[in-house]
Amino acid sequence: MKLTTYLGAASVAALATAVSAQDADLLVFDWSGYEEEGFYQQYIDTHGSAPTFAFFGEEEEAFQKLRSGFRADISHPCPHSVQKWRDAGLIEPWDISQIPSYATLAENFKTDSVFTDGDDVYFIPADNGATALLYNTEEVSAEDAASLQVFLDPAYAGRTSLPDNVDDSFALAYLATGTTDWTQATQEDFERAAAWLREAHQNARTYWADGAELNQLMATGEVVVAWSWNESYVGLADEGHPVAFNREAEEGSSQWFCGYVNLVDGPGSEEKAHDFVEAWLQPSSAEYIVNEWGYAHANTEAMASFDDETLAAVGMGQPSTPVLAQLPMDIELREQMIETFERIKAGF
């Protein structure tokens, strides 16, 4: 089966062109969608306009673009990229005295050796969410959707979709082959997961690049089973589509978090860079991300205001099945994942 990757507006934006030109003193290199003003309204209130945004579709793409000379002030990787970006000399410490809401973060984020060396802080968590099995309830039975092996089921050949994201796709493959903690994964675990992912590739219609693309694929019925972020479930359900988000699949689901880094030699204002992150950590940002996107927020005080029912409704409850946390892992193993993922997508 020939597999194609659809190119929507966000994918075109991933070429790292600035598509949202506002405040020229701050360029944010981010995932598509995070230009929404609800994430950083305090920044606009203070400075009168939103920052300028440029977009990437996947962290390895962002890394290669930055290493090739693309300049921005801030970027938004997830934790497994932080050490690699530090080693490459792409990021510099934050001045925490300019980000008072840093105090609201969970203590483990403030002490992790990947994020801080004890004196300097290189990574400030902002958002977190789940990646789990999203399915069309009119086309897929609850019994079939009870296991991640549905991605290999010939009954759904050509109607499944995987993320065009190495970490999410390998999280699925690790879970499906019995690994629930990739920080302890062995070479054998990796090879078993890669073999499973090759099989899932053969069943897939496409790899989705962002939530908007997946929403369209699910809404039209072209795809009926996907490994998805919360946002697609929340958006599709709000529009009345027959979907369910199963974090209770037998093998489990995954959970990720991402945050902001201060890029070396940014062309804009350091003060505004810090103001942007401070705005992101406000309770108003937490309110927006939970209710509009279905994600959770790094501000622990703000998150304490949401009851269990609200979080469960957007897919952020506490499942009883395993959760693979996308924590920093062995760098050499992750480099193998990156290389292998590209080969799998190419049909090898």
Q: What is the pLDDT of residues 154-166, one digit of tens each?
A: 999 999 999 999 9
* CATH class of the domain whose range is 129-255+317-345: alpha beta
The third-level CATH classification (topology) of the domain covering 9-128+257-313 is D-Maltodextrin-Binding Protein; domain 2 (3.40.190)
Q: How many CB atoms lie under 10 A from the CB of residue 22? A: 19
Percent of the chain residues topping a pLDDT of 70: 94
Q: Is 48 exposed, middle or buried (0-12, 13-18, 19+ CB in 10 A)?
A: exposed
* Residue-level pLDDT at 3: 34
DSSP code for 13: H
* Residue-level pLDDT at 77: 96
* Residue-level pLDDT at 93: 97
Helix (H) or strand (E) holding 253: strand 253-263
Q: Give per-residue pLDDT as tens, 177-189.
A: 999 999 999 999 9
Fold match between 9-128+257-313 and 129-255+317-345? yes
Stretch 115-144: mean pLDDT, rounded?
A: 96
Residues 279, 124: Cα–Cα separation, whole Å: 12
Stretch 300-319: mean pLDDT, rounded?
A: 93
DSSP code for 50: P
**DSSP-derived 3-state class of residue 35:** coil
Q: Give per-residue pLDDT as tens, 276-285.
A: 999 999 999 9
Average pLDDT of the chain, as a whole number: 92
Q: Which tokens sit at 311?
A: 């979080």
Q: Give per-residue pLDDT as tens, 7-35.
A: 333 333 334 444 556 889 999 999 999 99
The answer on pLDDT for 39 being more than 50 is yes
Would you list the domain boundaries of the chain? 9-128+257-313, 129-255+317-345
Q: Which tokens sit at 107?
A: 């203590």
Stretch 196-225: mean pLDDT, rounded?
A: 96
Q: Give per-residue pLDDT as tens, 227-260.
A: 999 999 999 999 999 999 999 999 999 999 999 9
